């Protein structure tokens, strides 16, 4: 089941034409991923302080399908796609809300984001702590 997070498009998110600048979908996805993890009880600052590690983006692949515009309300999703011992991959999508007149959600952008676990001091890859893996499963 996908976690959903609402995001309003503000002036700062758009280009001169009032359309969301493509790189800002990465910011929208980051916010939704962070809230998804927080919802699972995984707070990133607490992880760094208590577990000595943190997640970093190691790969991002996005497909842009339709534009979002100034003042649009988006629903951004995050769902675990796969999990390993040192990284996880999250499937993410951004939909326009409200849905179209026929009730179909309008998919604007979709992507796959891989995040790896690193030691926060050395920045070297490490195994994700078991306590976190359990929460993600």
Q: Would you please indicate which residues are annotated as catalytic (active-site) residues?
A: 15
| Straight-line distance from the first to the last Cα atom of the chain, in angstroms, rounded to the nearest whole number | 12
Could you give the count of Cα atoms lying within 13 Å of 87 in the half-sphere of its Cβ?
14
Determine the 3-state secondary structure of 35 from DSSP: helix
Which residue stretches of the chain are H helix? 24-39, 44-51, 130-136
Q: CA 10 to CA 26: how far, in whole Å? A: 15
CA angle, 133 as apex, 50 and 129 as ends, to 5°? 35
**Strand-strand pairing, 53-64 and 106-119:** antiparallel
Write down the residue that tokens 């999990």 correspond to: 83
């Amino acid at each position: 089941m996908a976690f959903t997070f609402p995001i309003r498009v503000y002036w700062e998110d758009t280009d001169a034409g009032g359309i969301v600048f493509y790189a800002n979908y990465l910011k929208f996805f980051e916010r939704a991923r962070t809230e998804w993890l927080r919802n699972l009880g995984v707070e990133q600052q607490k992880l760094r302080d208590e577990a000595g590690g943190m997640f970093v983006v190691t790969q991002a692949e996005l497909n842009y399908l339709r534009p979002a515009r100034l003042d649009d309300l988006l629903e951004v999703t995050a769902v675990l796609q796969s999990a390993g011992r040192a990284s996880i991959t999250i499937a993410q999508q951004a939909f326009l809300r409200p849905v179209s007149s026929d009730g179909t959600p309008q998919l604007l952008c979709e992507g796959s984001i891989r995040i790896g676990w690193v030691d926060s001091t050395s920045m070297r890859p490490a195994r994700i702590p078991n306590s976190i893996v359990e929460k993600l499963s």
